[in-house]
Amino acid sequence: MTPQEFAATLDATNLKLDASDGEICALCDEVAHSGFASVCVYPTNVSICSDILYSSQARVCTVIGFPHGRSSLEAKREEIVRAQEHGANEVDIVMNYAALRASDKTIVTEEIVRLCEVARKSDLLTKIIVETCYLTNTQKLTALGICETAGADFIKTSTGFGSAGATIEDIKRFADHRKSVIKIKASGGIRTLSDALALLEAGAERLGVSAAGALLAEFQGEQFESKSTDTY
């Protein structure tokens, strides 16, 4: 994997509760320069990101029903529509995982199917956050099936606000049991290059990280040292 290929797996994320406009702008500049897949921010930051990145290949991603997933279907639908109007290209939608935990599969399925339909009509790529740390293994596979039924582009492990984030075991579980072309986004607690590479090896195609620049720099450093070793 080249540095460019690694960078293209990263959603550079700033969902800090105290994030400033200056920090968001700086992150956009970093995304445009480094070739990350997207910048992932709150809905109110979408406009400024789309303005900065309009001439870049980087995409603007935002979160829907975040982080609890308990917003009404209508509220989530409105967030998706407004996100597209303000320049978003991708939406990370938090599933109502509380309803899934309560065995209300029909309610959850209807919600995700309808929201994916709304997103597709707006040409938005969809990632469904299922918050794996609060689900049993059976519920995780149920969530995967719901995402596939809805035609979601990705299933995403975590918000980063739960009790735990992505695990290799969950990524492998999704990779081994998916029956469609759905992709996997790992997020939450990815702090080291070894973590990132292990999750990609397990089957993730995207990584949501708050330190994308540091991970890429470390990756490039390893590549440089490898070349140096080969030379001498």
Which of the following is catalytic: 92, 153, 170, 195? 92
Which of the following is catalytic: 76, 127, 140, 156? 156
202 and 175 in contact (C-beta within 8 Å)?
yes
Q: Is 16 a catalytic residue?
A: no
Which of the following is catalytic: 76, 153, 185, 195? 185
Q: Is 76 a catalytic residue?
A: no
Q: Is 185 a catalytic residue?
A: yes
To the nearest 10 degrees (0 to 180), the angle between helices 193-202 and 212-231 is 90
Catalytic residue numbers read 92, 156, 185
